[in-house]
Amino acid sequence: MMSRTAVCIFLMFTSVAVVRAQTAPSDLRDLTLEELLEVKISVASRTALTARDSPSIVSVITRQEIADSGARDLRELLSLLVPGIHFGADVEGVVGAGVRGMWASEGKLLLLIDGIEANEGLFGTTQWGGHYPVETIERVEVIRGPGSAVYGGYAAVGVVNVITRGGDRFASATWSQMRKSHSKRGVAFGVGSANASLTGSWFEGMRSDRDHVDYFGRRRSLAGDSRLDSVNLNLHLQHRGVDFRAIVDRYDMTQFTLFGRNFDGPALDETFHSALFRLRYEHQVRPELKVIPRLEYARHAPWQLDVPEERYSNRKRVEKPLAGAVVEWTPREGLAVTGGIESYRNDVVMLAGPGPFEERLQSGRNRLRVSATGVFAQVMKSTPVAQFTIGGRYETTNEFGSAFVPRIAATRRFERLHLKAMAAQSFRVPAGILPNRIPPGAGKLQPEKATSYELEAGYRVGANGFVTVSLFDIGFQKVIVYYANPETGIGSYVNSGRFGSRGFEADFRYVGSRASLTANLASYRSTENNVAIYAVPGHSDHFLGFPPLRFNLLAGWHVSPSVSIQPSLSWFGERHGFTGAAADGSDVLRRFEPEALVNLHIRAVSVGGLPLEIDAGLRNLTDADVPFIQPYRGYAAPLPSESRAVVVRFEYTF
C-alpha cells in the first residue's frame, strides 16, 4: 500500500500546480474549458449535441486530454478519466470491464471503433489488457448507463465509442520498461487526408513481471512469459456521401493457466482476430431529411487456444453480416426525429471434424445461427421548459424471442447550470455460442432486461471550473449467469435471479492558463443481488472484484510554453475476491486493502522547433500491486498488475 508520505507529496504537488494557474498563458493546451464543454458528440442520440445537452450521462475524452494523461492504452485511459468503469480478470488471463460495480464483459458494454461494433461475436466480450493503443485515438465518447434503445443488445450498461485519428499524418514510437522485462513497445502511424486515410499500430507487451499464484497455490513468474501483442489497421475512404471503412485487429496473448491451474512448460498462444467492414451512404433527400443506408460484415476468430499435449483446440469463428438504414428528419427548428431498422445474422462456425476435447453443437451440425431484426425510433423536442427525448427499440430473434426497451429523458440547460432526468430500459441478447451452453432441461435463454433511473446536475464554477454530479439506480432481471466447470473449462448459461446497483458519480474539471485539474469519484452499492457468483459473503452491498469507491486525480502544470508535467493518482477502495481453495476444498475469500496507483508524466512539444513531441514518465511510481480480481466466482486467481515502469514516447507530425 502506498505510504502516507507519498500521498502527501503528490497532493502538495497537485496543489502547487493549481495555485500557479493564474500565471502567463501557455501554448501547450489547445482547448479552453469553453471549447471542451462545447465539443459535439452523437453517441447518446445519433444527433450531434454537447455532453451537457445529450440525453444520457456522457463522458468525452479529447485528443488533448489523451496526450496529457500519459495513458498507453484504452483501458488505462478509461480507468483514469471515466468514473464508474473498472477492470477485472476473466478466464484465461483476459482482462474485462465492469460498469458501476457490475460485471459487463459478456455483452453488456458495447465497444465501437469509429461507430462499428467491435465486441467479438462468440460471447460478446472485449479484451482490454494492453489492447487499443492511444496513439491512434482522436476522441473517446462514453455513455455511462443504458444504450440499448439506440444500439441494441450489447449496450445494457454502457457504450464506448472510439474515434480514430483519420486524416492526421504522424509517426510515433513507444517504449515502456519494467524491472525485469518490457511492458510495452511498438510503433503507430497515420497517413492520408480527410477523404482517404490509413492508421495503424504494432505493439508488444507484457502483463506483468511479478509472480502469479494460481487458485491452488502454484507459483509462476510472468517476467517475459505473459505476452499481450496487438496489430491494428484502419482504412477509411469517403467520396460524395459514400463512406467505406475496413478495420483489421489482431490481438495475441500467451496463456499460462488452464482451469485455475498454472501449468509447467512454455506458455501457450491464444489469439483474438477480427476483421470489420462497413459501407454506408449519406443521402440528403431534402435539407431537412437524410437517409443513411449501410452494410456491415464482421468476421471474428476469438479465444483461439491450442493445448497440443491434450489435443485440445478452440477453433470457432463467427460471421456477422448486417444491413440497416437510419432516417434523420428535422421538420422544423427544435424538433428532430430519428428512426431506423437493422437486420443481422450471427453465425458461429465450428470445425467440420472436431477433436475429442473440442466442443460440439447440440444440433449435431457445425453452424449455429442467431438471426435478429431491430427497429428503433426517437423524437427530440425542445420546449421552453426542457428538451424532451422519447424513444425505444424493439428487437426480435429466432432463438430468444423479443424485447422492447423504451427511453425517456428531460434535459434543461441554463447559462451555468444544466439538469437531466432519465429513465430507460436496456437488454442483453445472448447471441454467439450461448445457445449451445444451456444445460439439459433448462429451456431456451431469454434476453436479460434492466431498468435504469438517472439524474445529473452540472454547474460552471467561475471562469475555469465545471463540476457534474450524477445519481443512478439500475436493476437487472432474468440475469444470464455463467457457471464454469473447473474440470472441463466448458461453462453453462442460464437465466437466474436479479441484481442491481445504486450510487453516484462526480467529475470536476479545471482548465487554467497554465494549469489544469481533473478529478472524478464513483461510488456504488449493490441494492439487490441473488446471483451467487457475483455476491460477497458477509457484504451484501458489494459485488466481487470491484471497489465500491474509486477516486482519480490528474493535474497538469505548464512549466513553459512547450513543457508540461502531469502527475496522476488512482485510488481503489477495498475489494473482495476468491483467491484459492482451502485444504478442505472450500473457496478462500480475501479482502484487498485500499490501494493507490501514482503516475508521473512529462510532455514536451515542438522540440527543437520541429513538429516533434516527446513524452516520458513513470507508471506506478510506488510499485504498488493492484491486481485484476475475477468479478465472479470462476476459479481464477487474481492477475498481478504491472510493476513500476519507465515510459518514453516520440511522435512526429508531418
Question: Looking at 67-71, 257-261, 619-623, which range is the least confident one?
Answer: 257-261
With a cut of 90, say whether residue 328 has pLDDT above it: yes
- pLDDT value at residue 131: 94
Q: Rounded to whole angstroms, how far apart are CA atoms 631 and 449?
A: 20
Q: Which of 233, 462, 255, 491 is nearest to 359 (CA)?
A: 491
- The predicted structure's pLDDT at residue 313: 54
Number of helices followed by number of strands (H, E) in the chain: 5, 44
pTM: 0.93
Cell reading at 2: 502506498
Name the residue with cell 426525429. 337
- Distance of alpha carbon 284 from alpha carbon 297, whole angstroms: 25
Q: Which residues have a Cβ under 8 Å from the Cβ of 364 and sit 6 or more positions away?
A: none
The residues pairing with 565 across neighbouring beta strands, listed in sequence order, are 557, 602
**Cβ distance 628 to 575 under 8 Å?**
no
pLDDT digits (tens, 9 = 90+) for 172-213: 999 999 999 999 999 999 999 889 999 999 999 999 999 999
Tell me what pLDDT residue 31 has.
67
Mean pLDDT of the chain: 89
Structural element, H or E, at residue 279:
strand 268-281
Dist CA 304 CA 307 (whole Å):
10
Q: What pLDDT does residue 28 have?
A: 52
Is the pLDDT assigned to residue 490 strictly greater than 80? no
CB contact at 8 A, 314 and 269: no
Q: What is the pLDDT of residue 259?
A: 76
pLDDT at 140 over 90: yes
CB contact at 8 A, 328 and 102: no
The string of pLDDT tens digits covering residues 59-117 is 999 999 999 999 999 999 999 999 999 999 998 889 999 999 999 998 899 999 999 99
Cα dihedral sign, 141-147-151-156? positive
- 287 CB-near residues (< 8 Å, 6+ apart): none
How would residue 18 be classed by pLDDT, with cut points 50, 70 and 90?
Answer: very low
Per-residue pLDDT at 489? 55
How far is Cα 81 from Cα 648, in angstroms, rounded to an integer? 21
Which pLDDT value is given to residue 34?
77
Sort strands 158-164 and 109-113 into parallel, antiparallel or unpaired.
parallel
- pLDDT tens digits, one per residue of 371-410: 999 999 999 999 999 999 999 999 999 888 889 999 999 9
pLDDT at site 363: 78
pLDDT tens figures, 405-464 = 999 999 999 999 999 999 999 998 877 888 888 887 778 888 899 999 999 999 999 999
Other residues' Cβ atoms within 10 Å of the Cβ of residue 623: 15
Q: Which of 627, 624, 641, 557 is nearest to 590 (CA)?
A: 627
